[in-house]
Structure 1
């Protein structure tokens, strides 16, 4: 098994690509071992000193460090991921993965058509690009022209996330959906 690694725009995260599906059609984010009870893989990764976050994407794993140097952490992370896949253990235990429901969506029913367009643009134009950088962005709400988005994986805490939101996503949404005036992270 060969696991590729890629740098992300966030210097505290590194993207690991095992060459096998991780969570097809779904994502999960864990910010501590206590949140990772459904994922044996994430639990094992949190067992490595200085691992502060684990994000499971469709075909990648993003690990966030809380300290230490990548040159020391990377071999342990690679070994843990490889051991997990070779063991045949599932990435998640219990129910099949579903699209991450990180909370209820908040918007007025009268804005349903606008929200549908926003979600379609996020799904087709934004999320694939963000996944390339080891993260994910999902819709949280729409109110008074403001779109609220959840930033996950390498996007959470990334120094360039504000620029991505303001200059990239906000401009895209405002272009296609004139009712959008601003984009904010949740």
Structure 2
């Protein structure tokens, strides 16, 4: 006999290195495996009714959605202890009611899209280095960053410099630059000798 009852949605909050963001983990899927979407503003969230609803809370400044979690960044001095119950209740109720997460198929960021964006005018050597960097970011760096409620995407490689984009909790995180230099840059330098430096778009070191 098939059980047609809907599984209750559970949501728990999980802190991450960015004190201004909080990761809300669900026991249900919000987005297909391997992809994520980052909305720095409500204008960017036109494809996601769920994210737009979150932006209706006046303290929400950024929404990042991945497979089974949503990371919310706040722009308010109010402590998370006061905000978590309200957000958790909203997320649970919205998902349980079957509210739409996206309108159609969202524009996600994956390793495949990063590979496709490797500039066609790169030399064969630089294109090969770019692909090595993408593979390392996807297999070694991204899983760890996602655990902290964020994402890292490859942007470009040129003259020994890798440019990445930090999303979700990683965007604006005080410890992101340390992670970028001490962790990611060291890894890429060790694995791909041609890499001399890693920089992040919009992050001041």
Residues 22-73 of structure 1: CA distance to partner in whole angstroms, max 9, x if unpaired? 2122111112211111111101111112011100012211000000221222
RMSD: 1.9
- Rounded to whole Å, the distance in 2 between the matches of 1:95 and 1:58 is 14
Residues 84-116 of structure 1: CA distance to partner in whole angstroms, max 9, x if unpaired? 1111122111235543669x5557242111111
**Residue 56 of structure 1 is aligned with which of 33, 50, 65?**
65
Question: Are positions 1:168 and 2:183 aligned together?
Answer: yes
Asked whether the 8 Å contact 2:12–2:88 carries over to 1, the reply is no
- Rounded to whole Å, the distance in 2 between the matches of 1:96 and 1:10 is 26
TM-score (norm 2): 0.85
Larger radius of gyration between Structure 1 and Structure 2:
2
Q: Which runs of 4+ in 1 moved over 3 A?
A: 96-102, 104-107
**Residue 40 of structure 1 is aligned with which of 26, 39, 49?**
49
Number of residue pairs matched?
A: 186
Q: Give the structure 2 partner of residue 9 of structure 1.
A: 17
Q: Give the structure 2 partner of residue 77 of structure 1.
A: 87
Secondary structure, counterpart of 1:21 in structure 2: coil
Asked whether the 8 Å contact 1:2–1:19 carries over to 2, the reply is yes
Gaps of 5+ in 1: none
TM-score (norm 1): 0.93
Q: Give the structure 1 partner of residue 4 of structure 2.
A: none
